[in-house]
A and B are shown apart, each in its own frame.
Chain A
Amino acid sequence: MNTCNSDTKIVVKDITKQFPGENPEQGLALYDVNFTVQTNEFVTIVGRSGCGKSTMLNIAAGLLSPTKGEVLINGRAVNGPGSDRGMVFQYSGLFPWLTAIENIEFGPRNVGMPKAERRASAQELIELVRLKGFENKYPRELSGGMQQRVAIARAMALDPEILLMDEPFGSLDQLTREDMQRELLRVWEIRKKTVLFVTHSIIEAIYLSDRILVFNPNPGFVKKEFVIELPRPRQKSYPDFMRYYEEIYEAIC
């Protein structure tokens, strides 16, 4: 469905977000944020905690509305959540009362896809994220890594063009986290998606992304941009990798 062209998928235009509060300076989460994401590009926002990167993602998702500015997807302004975007959350986004496969079927069920059809496509996604045999387990019966696999499959169930990922691996242990990074890239290679990813791990960002946006904290805006020109699959021990790390680290501080 997504042909390989270099169209612009997401345009973030002059986004400012002011949260209501007593002190206007503290409530200013984002100030004049501008960037674009190309079709099938993997873009990551990095920055210190509280730099508004999650707020930016929620605005792109349509869960929050900006105080000023707009987000365009395929040229149309975002006005609430839509099935062109799937989202993966850091914590507990999975519904504990549904099994793995029921979680994946949740979106298709809402839009009225017939049972047989949605079961089949959910089964396909289960296989894509390598969870065969676990489809009837409840989230609490799955490990943290498995839960995030289900979350990724669920976000892809309505076949969105865009995946929004809010520190999806932030609560995992280091080894699982690295497995999941490889898994995500594998899935991304198979089902091409435009990805907007948020993390505070510079290494994770370099490993995954085509492009990295460094956010300034308080208020948040794009401070610096890095195009990662490393061949995939990337090795975290490459000297070039480390060079990027140092440059980005410096940009954040």
Chain B
Amino acid sequence: MNFLRKKFMEYYSNPFIEFPARFDRREYAFILFGEGGMRRHISFLSKDDLLSYLRKNSPAHVYYSSAYYRHPDAGTMREKEWMGADLIFDLDADHIPNAIQMSYEEMLLEVKKELEKLLSFLMEDFGFEKRHIRLYFSGGRGYHCHVSHPDVIPLGSQERREIVDYVTARGLNFKGIVKEKSIPKEYFSDKTLEINPKRGGWSGRIARGIIEFLREVKKMEREKAIKKLMELDGIGEKTASSLYDFLTEERIRRIEDGKIDQSTEFKRIAIPLIKKLSVSMQSSTDEPVTGDIKRLIRLPGSLHGKTGLRVTNVDVDNLHEFNPLRDAVVFGENGIKVVVEKPLSIEMMENKFKIERGMREVPEYLAVFLVARGFATA
């Protein structure tokens, strides 16, 4: 039998599954080892039925529907009869710029930063409490955030899209949010942009972001500051240096009071800054994505067939400490011989590994990870 499948079978003989609320109203879907397609439209009346399905098939991937239905096992949406759905945010490394050049660990750290931003939106702006939010490491390249507040469950896909658009800043109308004001002076009127860091919503976020960013830049030496400014999209050396020279103490104070002179080329830093402040969740081309009222998500506690890591709950308060390559590992330490095809450096279970090509003996958890990711064969 296939090595991975055998290992998965060992895990599923006694797995730690977190069953979703309204368990029997969900659709379940599976991808089995060696099978291309997905087995869909499956429902279970009892938790034991699901557990024995897992034991029997030890699937490579296990999903359940974020929605719950009157007839979860019906073949079409219409027959299923949609009853409501959790609100799910899927944060994946695919949507992080330059993810390809990063190691697996770096990638996951980047996604975590996005997750932290998302949490701040959900709690500060939307007012959700911790008890309504559950975070999961996806087992693969990212994190899932589930919001199950009773008021969001009946929301339709347009309403959900508004929430997603809010955290990703899509459709943000800059001119409508940062008000332009003309202050009449003796002969001319002085045009300024007004910002207010105390406001809620994006206008406050942008204001705080700008002030914080400019303060940080101001503190730096000239050369470093210019470099920092140039990190923003569309800012060249010329703009950066003129911006820096412009930032006198007096002007910074004016900005902190909420007044930005038009001439600061402020808009040029504001737009890329919005990008930095928003959550990267969908690819930047904004292709029509399937509405999340009927999506499938990985079952907490199941294993991810491409890593062997477990879909693991992350405590909101301990997000910072969570280490997927320690906390989502389920396999043991026994030595296993594998043939490594691609060399790799990785830190797992707080051990550093530098693995070269060829036959190697490694701990079981690493063997599973390497084989699942296609770095080695067993």
Whether A and B are associated in the same complex: the answer reads: no
Residues on B facing A (Cβ under 8 Å):
none
Residues on A facing B (Cβ under 8 Å):
none
